[in-house]
């Protein structure tokens, strides 16, 4: 007995099977085509539209993600550079309480974690540098380091903000496509049922609806 693709199959595979079913049914004509068009044509047209929108959003997002990565790498290096400048200026101590206040967990606190929140963390670092927390840190060094942090924070924030909308589009459209695939799977199931009502055999039906046999269980050795 032939089997349809599982309901929990990949969205792309389900939609591809629906496309193939409609194509096969139209090639046969008659009730094959009529029933398939009734059940699948509108959903397939919608899925094609969603696919185009998703691919467009993904295409827009990719270079923006690359820009975020590049700006993030530069920001992380700048944070590390600023730490080294401060450490050198205060005499390269094995431990320094005031430096630990500015860098609670070393550079990791500012450089690691959610990239979208890193500009906010860097803003705090800038404020700490300018607050005079460390008595051995000269005002000139603090201001110069704060300016570098501010510049990289602003650049990273701009890159993150530029990617927000296309990232949201990709996320939403991806979920729409997944939900649509479930609808299409239900329509494929209904189509198969209607083909059976028409008197078509299981073998005939699966020359139109792609056969997706379950993988056989492995034999115990």
Average pLDDT for residues 118-140, to the nearest whole number? 94
Contact 182, 7 (CB under 8 A): yes
Contact 78, 111 (CB under 8 A): no
Distance CA 93, CA 88 (A): 8
Question: What are the residues facing 105 on neighbouring strands?
Answer: 107
HSE, CB side, 13 Å, CA atoms: give it for residue 135: 2
Angle at 220 between CA 214 and CA 221, to 5 degrees: 135
113 sits in the region (left: phi over 0; alpha: psi -120 to 50; else beta) called left
Question: What are the residues facing 91 on neighbouring strands?
Answer: none
pLDDT the model gives residue 220: 44
Residue 199 scores a pLDDT above 70: yes
Burial class (CB in 10 A: 0-12, 13-18, 19+), 27: exposed
Residue 218 scores a pLDDT above 50: no
Contact 45, 180 (CB under 8 A): no
User: Given the structure tokens 């029933």, which residue do they identify?
Assistant: 35
Whether pTM > 0.85 for this model: the answer is no
pLDDT the model gives residue 125: 96
pLDDT the model gives residue 214: 72
Residue 69 scores a pLDDT above 70: yes
Average pLDDT for residues 20-40, to the nearest whole number? 96
pLDDT the model gives residue 221: 43
Residue 122 scores a pLDDT above 50: yes
pLDDT the model gives residue 215: 63
Q: Residue 105, SS3?
A: strand
Least reliable range by pLDDT among 33-47, 116-130, 146-160, 204-218: 204-218
**Residue 168 token pair:** 């949201």
pLDDT band, very low/low/confident/very high, at 143 (cuts 50, 70, 90): very high
Cα 119 versus chain centre, distance? 21
Cα 29 versus chain centre, distance? 41
């Amino acid at each position: 007995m032939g089997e349809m693709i599982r309901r929990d199959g990949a969205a792309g595979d389900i939609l591809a099977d629906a496309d193939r079913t409609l194509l096969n049914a139209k090639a046969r004509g008659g009730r094959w085509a009529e029933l398939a068009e009734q059940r699948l044509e509108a959903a397939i047209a919608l899925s094609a539209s969603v696919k185009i929108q998703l691919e467009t959003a993904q295409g827009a997002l990719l270079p923006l993600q690359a820009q975020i990565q590049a700006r993030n790498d530069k920001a992380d290096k700048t944070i590390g550079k600023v730490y080294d400048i401060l450490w050198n200026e205060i005499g390269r101590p094995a431990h320094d309480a005031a430096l630990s206040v500015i860098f609670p967990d070393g550079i990791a606190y500012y450089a690691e974690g959610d990239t979208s929140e890193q500009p906010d963390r860097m803003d705090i670092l800038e404020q700490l540098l300018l607050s005079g927390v460390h008595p051995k840190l000269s005002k000139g060094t603090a201001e110069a380091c704060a300016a570098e942090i501010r510049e990289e924070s602003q650049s990273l924030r701009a890159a993150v903000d530029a990617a927000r909308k296309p990232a949201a589009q990709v996320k939403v459209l991806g979920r729409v496509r997944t939900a649509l695939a479930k609808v299409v799977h239900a329509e494929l199931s209904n189509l198969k049922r209607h083909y059976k009502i028409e008197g078509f055999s299981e073998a005939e039906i699966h020359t139109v609806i792609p056969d997706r046999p379950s993988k056989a269980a492995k034999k115990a050795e």
